[in-house]
Amino acid sequence: MSYTAHRFDPSKILSTSEIAALLSELERRAKRSINSQMNFVLFRLSCCVGLRVSEIASLQLRDVVLTDVRPRIVVRAGKGQKRRKIPLWLDRQTLSEIAAWKVLRESQDAACTDPFICNQRKKSLGQPLSVRALQYRFKTVLAWCLEPGRVEQLSIHSGRHSFASHLLKKGFSLVQVRDWLGHSSISTTSVYLHVDPDEGEEVLDAFQFAG
């Protein structure tokens, strides 16, 4: 079966070299403070898990399932109130960072229904962060490595676009990516089929996806 995809703007997608540079900088900064560590996890949830910003804001500790052979994130109320599961076994480093953050949140006495990403200020510890606050954090992260004009082209939703396009480029099927993104139609997912996010770029194995 063939699918006719509309042209998707590749400028809305982070190339693997951009992602690699950002992950490297995030890892370096994560050692300095808890807020920097949280930014690292936020970036991975967007670019390496494909969550919408609203889904990151509403993510709870119980939604990060690490005990099974196939660790996953459960999205309980995505767009259209759809429940779905996103595998964390695709990328070992993403799994490691998310697992470490869950341990940290549990050490803060967070309950299973408490927010996974939250305010880390002493007086507001554990309070959820707004969508706007998450968008601002993501833009701040981009500005650490990218030129202002490039930052202007991107948003936190670009992480989700990047997740989809890189998975398809690595050979995952439209059906798999559709289900992980929570799209209602495979035609929505197919817009990423003909996008080359690394056109003119050195291709790096930034995601380290399992084969």
Active site residues: 52, 79, 157, 160, 183, 192
Look at residues 91, 88, 86 and name the one whose alpha carbon lies nearest to residue 76: 86
Contact present, 44 and 16 (Cβ < 8 Å): no
Shortest CA distance to 154 belongs to which of 97, 197, 101? Answer: 197
Q: How far is Cα 101 from Cα 37, in angstroms, rounded to an integer?
A: 8
Take residue 32 and report the two structure tokens written for it.
Answer: 């300095």
Residue 129 token pair: 């962060």
Number of alpha carbons in the 13 Å side-chain half-sphere of residue 80: 8
| Sheet of strand 72-75: strand arrangement | 64-65, 72-75, 84-87
CA-based nearest residue to 201, from 160, 150, 156: 150
